[in-house]
Structure 1
Amino acid sequence: MKNTTNIENKTILVTGANRGIGKTITATLLDRGASRVYAAVRRVDTLKPLLEQYGDRVIPLEVDLQDNASIQAAAKRASDVDIVINNAGVLQTTPLLSEGSIDSLKYEQDINVYGLIRIAIAFAPVLKSNGGGAIVQLNSVASIKSFEELATYSASKAASYSITQALRALLEDQGTQVVSVHPGPIVSDMSITAGMDDIAEPPTVVADAIIEALQSGTFHVYPDAVAKQLGSAYQSYAEAIIEPKLVEA
């Protein structure tokens, strides 16, 4: 039986909630019936617009995905959380065959991969104690298809996708639903940095797709047109190899 989660009256944590996709996810969750959202950001002063709109339904949390102490402190503060949405991530555009590419990959790995692991270690026990809940990871289409202009970012997202698969299996028995979201170009600072703002879709498509996946028990989520195109080719492999439990001979 699939684990499913309804967002109504739930307490939810969103990393990177102050701008772009994260801000839209936060607003959409509150508009669609979530009780409150812990907005986990590096600088809580950037949450002023959300606080002005939603008042005490938004709870600021100072969290840096590179700082494990801040994540552990957030898990203690947000001990009533039902759903964790790890949206925060970074993208570098350093050419792969240049001198700085390894440093760029290290930076992206530290946030996009190790940050996810830090979040999971801190919050999996919290979710278990609260009945299971869900972890949602923003992984990007770059996790299933490397883009040469964004090679280090693609590599970091492929790693975070692999970790997400493992989390799905590891947390199933405690009743925690895990969702892997693979957006294509979405209107944000990141899409501008990647030079894809001309084909980017609004972040509402990601927020709506996350809510639908939580309610339906879907693991792989392809929110936008570019993602759907790649997902339609990839999904048969995902359903045959990634999603089922494979028993070794």
Structure 2
Amino acid sequence: MALLNGRIALVTGANGGIGQYYIQGLQAAGVSRIYAGARNPDSLQAIAATDPNRIIPIALDITDDASVQAAAETYRDVDLLINNAGVGFNQRLIPGISFDKIRSEIEVNYLGTVRMCLAFAPVLKANGGGAIVNMLTILAKVNFPLNASYSASKAAALLATQGIRAELASQGTLVVGVMPGTVNTGMSKDFPPPKVDPEEVVRVALQAVVDGVEDVYPGEQAQEMQAQLLQDPKALEKAMAAILAG
């Protein structure tokens, strides 16, 4: 990934299930500096200690306007923004619905991602355009009823990604949407296989930045579902809905 060598990255949700793998992948790709964002930067001390000259833990709450603006004003050398932070509560939309959890998913997965893109767009422009990587999911394209509100929040993030991509094209900013299926992290421990390893998700996402690819589908499950969506989206919707009957 020679084109990543020397770049300066910021990763949100760096202490999450995939975040640590992004940090490792960026290290291996030769990135010069990695700002590792989390609400509690102390949670990143262990991974920062592995490469203290390159990994800089930063306090960042993507649901807070002031926190995001402060980051954009402070870390003005960023040319690769990875919006990895996300939450999901595995809840259906009808029985036992929690609107607090819906709001949290929307605040983080949708509004937080948009907030970061808007704040860092001028930074990326000043640094030659750069790239944004938005961690989405194939469930942004078809609802999984057992995790329905999460799917909806990611669908909003997907359409926002497309809109932001159009807006930032003129400044030369690549905007990548990453849509894996089930990723083998703690969040999906109760879900059956197939699962894609987080290392593979990161590899595909970073390769997309190198190759200038806008949408990628890491893992066999995501690729098969994308093919189904292109061939017969209603059939896939019905197959996902049938899970409730099971």
TM-score with structure 2 setting the length:
0.89
Structure 2 match to 1:244: none
Matched, 1:211 2:206: yes
Matched, 1:121 2:103: no
Matched, 1:11 2:8: yes
Matched, 1:232 2:227: yes
Q: What code does the residue aligned with 2:43 have? A: T
2:142, 2:157 → 1: CA distance? Answer: 13
Matched, 1:140 2:137: yes
2:223, 2:154 → 1: CA distance? Answer: 18
1:196, 1:43 → 2: CA distance? Answer: 28
2:221, 2:41 → 1: CA distance? Answer: 33
Alpha-carbon contact 1:89-1:111 (below 8 Å) kept = yes
Per-residue CA distance 1:59-110 (angstroms, 9 max, x = gap): 1111111111111111112100010000000001233113433332211101
Structure 1 match to 2:75: 78
1:181, 1:56 → 2: CA distance? Answer: 28
1:101, 1:227 → 2: CA distance? Answer: 28
1:142, 1:57 → 2: CA distance? Answer: 34
Per-residue CA distance 1:16-52 (angstroms, 9 max, x = gap): 1123211101111111111111001111111122112
Match of 1:38 among 35, 40, 60: 35
How many percent of aligned residue pairs carry the same amino acid?
39
Matches within 5 A, 1:161-172: 161-172=158-169
Q: What code does the residue aligned with 2:200 have? A: V
Uncovered stretches (5+) of structure 1, i.e. residues with no partner: 238-249
How many matched pairs? 231
Q: 3-state DSSP class of the match of 1:6?
A: helix
Task: Quote how far apart the aligned CAs of 1:200 are.
Answer: 2.3
Q: What code does the residue aligned with 1:167 have? A: I
1:31, 1:40 → 2: CA distance? Answer: 19
Per-residue CA distance 1:108-130 (angstroms, 9 max, x = gap): 10111110111011100100011
Matched, 1:175 2:169: no
Per-residue CA distance 1:145-198 (angstroms, 9 max, x = gap): 100000100000000000000011000000000000001111222212xx2264
Uncovered stretches (5+) of structure 2, i.e. residues with no partner: 233-246
Structure 2 match to 1:112: 109
Matches within 5 A, 1:48-59: 48-59=45-56
Q: 3-state DSSP class of the match of 1:54?
A: coil
Alpha-carbon contact 2:180-2:196 (below 8 Å) kept = no
Structure 2 match to 1:245: none
Matched, 1:27 2:24: yes
Worse-matched range after superposition: 226-235 or 89-98: 226-235
1:163, 1:37 → 2: CA distance? Answer: 25
Alpha-carbon contact 1:8-1:32 (below 8 Å) kept = yes
Matched, 1:130 2:130: no
Structure 2 match to 1:243: none
Q: What code does the residue aligned with 1:55 have? A: P
Structure 1 match to 2:216: 221
Q: What code does the residue aligned with 1:229 have? A: E
The one of the two structures with greater contact order (alpha-carbon pairs below 8 A, sep at least 6) is 1
